[in-house]
Amino acid sequence: MKQGDLVVRKSYGGDVLFRVEDVRTHNAVLKGTDYRLLADAPIPDLSVVRDPESTRAVQQVRIKVNESLMKMHTDRERQALGTEESIRLAQQQQNAHYFEVPGKVLHLDGDGNYLKKSMQLYNTMHVPAHGLHIHESQMADVLYRLLPQIKPDIVVITGHDGVLKNRAPNEVYSLTSYKNSQNFVNAVRVAREYEKNRDGLIVVAGACQSHFEALLQAGSNFASSPGRILIHALDPVYIAIKASYTSIKEAINLPDVIHGTISGIDGVGGIETMGRYRVGLPKPKVTSAP
């Protein structure tokens, strides 16, 4: 077994596919390939996977991903039709075409592979996004410098997390029981110091099993994980896209956006928040760089 191998844990029934991040004397450090989970396991408990697409873990998650992506595209098409209808008369009367200004995203990710997938999805959905692969422990400092430069409408703070196995049952609400929740909380506080209005800057924070309550208290609009479960790598992206394309005149539909994620209500929760999408008239003849 070596770094980069794809593996599953025998003791968990092969429920999650991991990539080996580091091999130590008796244990291996693992990162989920689809779920934002950081874990370690005894080497004898690991089984190397040669054909990941044939495993139950991958097949099940692919079904959920496809359902979530189809819903995302359907919602976007429905919203675009509604926008066109709402300004149809203005176009007829003044022969003017509208233009769209979706909310701009700043995405900090502790995993380079997840960031690449996230940026591809932003691009597919035409969401303006700036992404940066940065270790979770450095996110607060980087965010402090980037926020005034990027001036985003939405910030995504994510990477890997997990509840420590060696803890007392009553310590589940202690930040010291989590691998990266404290780092996420620190970054959320920086974002909220920059913009105190939760409708002025939407913050999406957390990863697998993150301390949901602490992230909300620190100032995030959406966070994981209410049920301390695994969340899919694209769940924070789904929420950011939904926020980017929900009108500033409307609140993001909480049940709709949460149930539209791959992980569902045990994976992600949030508070009432206004969208960041705008339309304008007439369409500029020459567009400038943002």
Q: How far is Cα 22 from Cα 170, in angstroms, rounded to an integer?
A: 30
Which CA distances in Å does 151 have to 55, 103, 120, 265, 288?
A: 42, 11, 21, 30, 16
* In the predicted structure, residue 45 carries a pLDDT above the cut 80: yes
Whether residue 14 has pLDDT greater than 70 = yes
Cβ atoms of residues 236 and 262 within 8 Å:
no
Predicted confidence at residue 212, as pLDDT, reads 97
For residue range 70-88, list pLDDT tens digits in order.
777 777 777 666 655 555 5
Give 118's Cβ-side CA count (13 Å radius).
33
| pLDDT attached to residue 210 | 96
Reported as a pLDDT band with limits 50, 70 and 90, residue 193 is very high
Do residues 243 and 104 make contact, with C-beta atoms less than 8 angstroms apart? no
- Residue 69 main-chain phi, psi, to 5 deg: -65, -40
**pTM of the complete model:** 0.83
Cβ neighbour number for residue 112 with a 10 Å cutoff: 11
Q: How far apart are CA 196 and CA 290, in angstroms?
A: 24
Decide if 134 contacts 108 (C-beta within 8 A): yes
| Reported confidence tier of residue 15, pLDDT bands at 50, 70, 90 | confident
CB 75 within 8 A of CB 252: no
Average pLDDT for 7-29: 87
- Residue carrying structure tokens 């450095």: 138
Output the six-digit token pair for 163: 């509840």
Q: Is the pLDDT of residue 94 over 60?
A: no
Cα separation, 7 vs 47, in Å, equals 5
pLDDT at 79: 67
H or E, element range at 6? strand 6-9
Q: What is the residue whose two structure tokens read 């429920």? A: 15
Mean predicted confidence (pLDDT) in 242-267: 93
Q: Where do the domains of the chain lie, and which CATH numbers do they carry?
A: 6-54 (2.30.30), 71-280 (3.40.50.2300)
Contact yes or no for 242/71 (Cβ under 8 A): no
pLDDT (mean) for 210-232: 96
Q: The dihedral of CA 149, 154, 155, 158: what is its sign?
A: negative
- Convert the pLDDT of each residue in 105-164 to its tens digit: 999 999 999 999 999 999 999 999 999 999 999 999 999 999 999 999 999 999 999 998
**What pLDDT does 255 receive?**
92
Q: What is the pLDDT of residue 279?
A: 87
AA letter at 5: D
Q: Over the chain, what is the mean pLDDT? A: 88
Tokens at residue 73, please?
């595209």
- Contact (CB, 8 A) for 17 and 6: yes
Report pLDDT for 176.
93
